[in-house]
Structure 1
Amino acid sequence: MAGKLLDYNLLVETALRGAVREALKRAAEFGLPGNHHFYITFRTDQTGVELPDYLHERYPEEMTIVLQHQYWGLEAHEDWFQATLSFNKVPERLVIPYAAITAFADPSVQFGLQFRVMPNAENRPAMATPAPIGNAEPGQAGDADATTEDSAERKTGDVVALDAFRKKKP
């Protein structure tokens, strides 16, 4: 490590993805308490993402899913998670690496994170700082049919970059 600088952006990104993993692990083990529910946006073109061809054709770059009422068999592993969701009343198993996630929100507690991902770049996050989302309003609740949507149509609230809190050098 001598001679190399610490990449704090990558360290923070990794830690925040760990928080997403832990939330999914708890939901897999205990279910979602109270009104908790997750909106998860991910890159469908990332290595390791598994979804049916017709969904990949409909969402060739990015897709949002909701884990609330109609999901089954949630499993959270070290590098990926999987769940079965209903699409037009057809159950489909999705496998999503954490590295493919671009946004995670739990609107019940106004919590959200945004990540930047480099498409098809060995599933490593870009050298970017994740930004917390305030007052996330991801859209309507329901099964996956009603909540998968293009990113441009989602309302994600105000994004606050961490750079705004850093001291400026004279």
Structure 2
Amino acid sequence: MSHKTSKFWLFAFPASLVILAGAYYIKIPSARKLIDDHTSLGHQLFGRFVHDTVIVEKVPAPEKPEDPYASLANQPNSGPGTKPVATPKVFNLQELAHDPAHWPRKVALKKATTFPAVVSGKVVGSLIAPVGAEANVKGIKDGKIAVEYQGGGAWLTVEDTDLVARAMAQ
């Protein structure tokens, strides 16, 4: 009563795992990041099939003065002939939330974001907006920004957009 097993499954199972991993790598940015953090093999095998735009934005850290009051000590006392020192503009999200007239109309996304895909007012799936895509600002509440991208909406954190830069520029 010996039972012979097929050698087909010896190769089919590992091959199906590689195909599944490839599909996740190509379609899901978070899976791609996870795989790339552990090995470069995923990028070598499937990287040419990835067609989303990735923009890496590096912001240099501002230089910190050693003594913030040292520059004030060298300034002459204010008097009739001195000019007032300009104070830097400070961003306040709560003040901006209460004043829709000062909201920027659009913001750029700093990370790829999933939005519902909407056709004729009905949700038919989802889509991923790439880094740098512009979305319409629809609201600001509880420290988050309501944005709309191609008919679908999402709530994002301020850090996920360039809202601060656009609001400060106005």
- TM-based fold match above 0.5: no
* TM-score normalised by the chain length of structure 2: 0.32
* TM-score normalised by the chain length of structure 1: 0.32
State which structure, 1 or 2, has the greater radius of gyration over its C-alpha atoms: 2
Structure whose residues are more often helix by fraction: 2
Structure whose residues are more often strand by fraction: 1
